[in-house]
Amino acid sequence: MGKTDFKQLVSVEMRFVYADVFRRKSLLLMLVLWPYMITGFVLIVGSAVGNPQAFASRVGVDPAPFFIVSSFILMSTFVVLDDIMWKPIFDEEVGTMPYIVSSPVNRLMYYIAIPLPRLTLSVVIGLTSVVPVLTLYWGFEGFITSALVLLLGIFSALTFSPLATSVAMATYTYSGESWRLMNVLRPLLMVLVGVYYPRWVMPIAMYVVTALIPPSNSVELIQRLLAGIATVERSLMLLGVATALAVAYLPLTKLSVLRWERSKLKEGVKV
């Protein structure tokens, strides 16, 4: 006894999240509408400052499918960070924290498991946004592309998880459990990942630095797919880099979780 069973962990975490989501219908509706809202907003603002044709000729993609895909990717990726940030705050509030900290659960497995349930929810959202829009625009080919986008959205989130956990726990260690610091870091990360503009127009130095954030590679692959300029070699390289980085960050993840827990033990875990 005492060995953490990852499958079991995911299944209980899944039930915990879904019990919450299905009781808050407004949240569910919000999740479904979000990609459309962002796209609508960007298109309205965008057409006020420039015309859609200019965008299409520069990027090689129509703005509507581009932004609906971008919003989906952004959402499925950053859900990981949000979940990991949110869970400890919630646990502290409801008083479950001491029972988690005093459990022998494998910390790495636990934090990897936390965002998985909501990721399954992202797939649902992809099905209601990315799939119909791309199919509408490009027919069967669009449908296939949308399936790839869904898979890459999940891949992007999974490869983000180790870095997201490290960043979240480091900010908690540094400034306590609050969103204050993350309110600055989160938009910054979003910009760096490069969802709302093609990654290949970035200056080279910035391109290299931001490539260290695993999801930016998935984002680039998706953008290339949409623009029809994804070669097999380039695609494999992007997937490989994202995977390698995610694995490389794992020790950092474990360290940052342990550091954070240790910092909590100084004042004691709140009951």
Partner 1 sequence: MSIAVEARNLFKKYVTKKRLGLIRSVTEYVEALRGVSLNVRHGEVVGLLGPNGAGKTTTIKILSTLLLPDSGEAYVEGFDVVREADKVRERIGIMLTVEKGFYNRLTGRENLEYFGALYGIPPKILKDRIDKLLNLLELDKLGGSDRLFEEFSLGMKARLSLARALLKDPPVVFLDEPTLGLDPPSARKIRLLVKELAREGKAVLYTSHNMFEVEIVCDRIVMINKGRIVAEGSPEELKSRIPKVRALEVHLREAPNHIINTFKEMGLEVSQYSQSSEETYVLKILTKNPEEVVDDVVKVITSAGLDIVKFKLEEPTLEDVFIYFAGDSSG
Ligand X SMILES: Nc1ncnc2c1ncn2[C@@H]1O[C@H](COP(=O)(O)OP(=O)(O)OP(=O)(O)O)[C@@H](O)[C@H]1O
Nearest C-alpha neighbor of 237 from the set 256, 257, 218, 258 = 218
End-to-end CA distance of the chain: 26
* Binding residue for partner 1, selected from 32, 43, 56, 105, defined by CB under 8 A: 105
Would you give the DSSP letter of residue 50? Answer: S
Partner in contact with 265, chosen from ligand X, partner 1, none, beta carbon below 5 to 8 Å by kind: partner 1
Smaller CB separation from partner 1, 101 or 147 = 101
Structure tokens at 117: 């349930």
Find the shortest distance in angstroms from Cβ 97 to partner 1.
9
Partner in contact with 55, chosen from ligand X, partner 1, none, beta carbon below 5 to 8 Å by kind: none
* Binding residue for partner 1, selected from 51, 53, 96, 178, defined by CB under 8 A: 96
Non-local CB neighbours of 181 within 8 Å, separated by 6+ positions: 171, 174, 175
Phi, psi of 198 (to 5 degrees): -65, 135
Could you give the C-alpha distances from 5 to 10, 110, 174, 180, in angstroms and in order? 9, 10, 31, 34
Find the shortest distance in angstroms from Cβ 95 to ligand X.
14
* Binding residue for partner 1, selected from 25, 44, 49, 104, defined by CB under 8 A: 104
Find the shortest distance in angstroms from Cβ 112 to partner 1.
14
Could you give the C-alpha distances from 12 to 127, 164, 179, 221, in angstroms and in order? 25, 22, 26, 33
CA–CA–CA angle 28, 128, 114 (5° rounding): 50
Smaller CB separation from partner 1, 23 or 205 = 23
Cβ–Cβ under 8 Å, residues 155 and 143: no
Quick note: the x/- pattern for partner 1 over 155-174, rule CB under 8 A, is --------------------
Structure tokens at 125: 């959202």
- Which residue stretch of 2-10, 66-74, 142-150, 218-226 sits at the interface with partner 1 (rule: CB under 8 A)? 2-10
Does the protein bind partner 1 through residue 203 (CB under 8 A)? no
Residues in 212-271 at the binding interface with ligand X, rule: CB under 6 A: 267-268
* Cα dihedral 138/198/30/185 (nearest 10): 170
Helix, strand or coil for residue 138? helix
Find the shortest distance in angstroms from Cβ 252 to ligand X.
29
Smaller CB separation from ligand X, 234 or 270 = 270
CA–CA–CA angle 54, 59, 62 (5° rounding): 70
Partner in contact with 12, chosen from partner 1, ligand X, none, beta carbon below 5 to 8 Å by kind: partner 1
Smaller CB separation from ligand X, 233 or 267 = 267
Residues in 33-92 at the binding interface with partner 1, rule: CB under 8 A: none
Contact residues toward ligand X (CB under 6 A) are 267-268
